[in-house]
Amino acid sequence: MNDTNPETQRKLEELYSKLTPEERFGKMLSLCRTVREIIISQLPAGLSETEKRKRLFEIYYSQDFTKEDFEKLKERIFKE
């Protein structure tokens, strides 16, 4: 759902269309870093680095695969 004001959305799309591919990619990377920081900041304290990575992976990617495929992928990555 997009709850952005239509006029604001139009202006953002206009600004975005003027960016070079490199600038767009840089903005995407910045957004990904921000999302990662938000997710990590909400994880319980005291998790190991491996557990943080695993939880981040689950939150970030679990909706991109079927449950079965995701579990197989997670097992391969984290050697569970």
The reported pLDDT for the residue numbered 80 is 62
What global pTM score does this model have? 0.67
Determine contact, residues 50/78, Cβ cutoff 8 Å: yes
Write out pLDDT tens, residues 4-55.
889 999 998 999 899 999 999 999 999 999 999 999 999 999 999 999 999 9
Integer Cα distance of 22 and 5 in angstroms: 27
Q: What is the DSSP letter of 43?
A: S
Write out pLDDT tens, residues 60-80.
899 999 999 999 999 999 986
Determine contact, residues 42/26, Cβ cutoff 8 Å: no
- Parse the chain into domains and list their residue ranges: 1-42, 46-80
Tokens of 50: 């491996």
